[in-house]
Amino acid sequence: MTAPGEWRCAAASVPPGRTATFRLECGGRSVSGFVVNFDGGYHAYVDRCPHVGTPLDLWPNEFFTEDGQALVCSTHGAIFEPDTGFCTGGPCAGDRLTRLPLRVEDASLVVTCP
């Protein structure tokens, strides 16, 4: 059962090198986010580039660079570390994605409002 302000999915549905998108209701507003599995570690972020606030994925649920080693903003090409959200290149270098609380509970990923 999913509580308000919470999103769940089976951890097995997000294998290494893959992502999953979701929406959360947080304090009366809808927040778009995504979970990334990078090197077997799960991380959740708000789907908003710190540069101009656009979603990262031009094509639905496509966040990784071609080599699978970084996340990329499709609008202006900003590059982010998948495990930290830190921007290593592009117009927002030195900034970072907004992390969302994520925990693994049994065999599920659980993302909650900050």
pLDDT at 114: 86
Q: Which fold has domain 6-103?
A: Rieske Iron-sulfur Protein (2.102.10)
Q: Are strands 87-89 and 79-80 parallel, antiparallel or unpaired?
A: antiparallel
Split at pLDDT 50, 70, 90, the class of 17 is very high
Token code pair at residue 66 = 């071609």
List pLDDT tens digits, range 51-67. 988 999 978 899 999 99
pLDDT, the chain, mean: 94
User: What pLDDT sits at residue 33?
Assistant: 96
* Of 16 and 4, the one with more pLDDT: 16
Whether 37 has a pLDDT exceeding 90, the answer reads yes
Under 8 Å between Cβ of 45 and 98: yes
pTM of the model: 0.94
Q: Report, in this order, helix, strand and coil percent for the chain, each rounded to 5.
A: 5, 45, 55
pLDDT tier for residue 35 given thresholds of 50, 70 and 90 = very high
Mean pLDDT of 28-43: 95
Residue 2 has pLDDT above 90, yes or no: no
Q: What is the pLDDT of residue 58?
A: 77
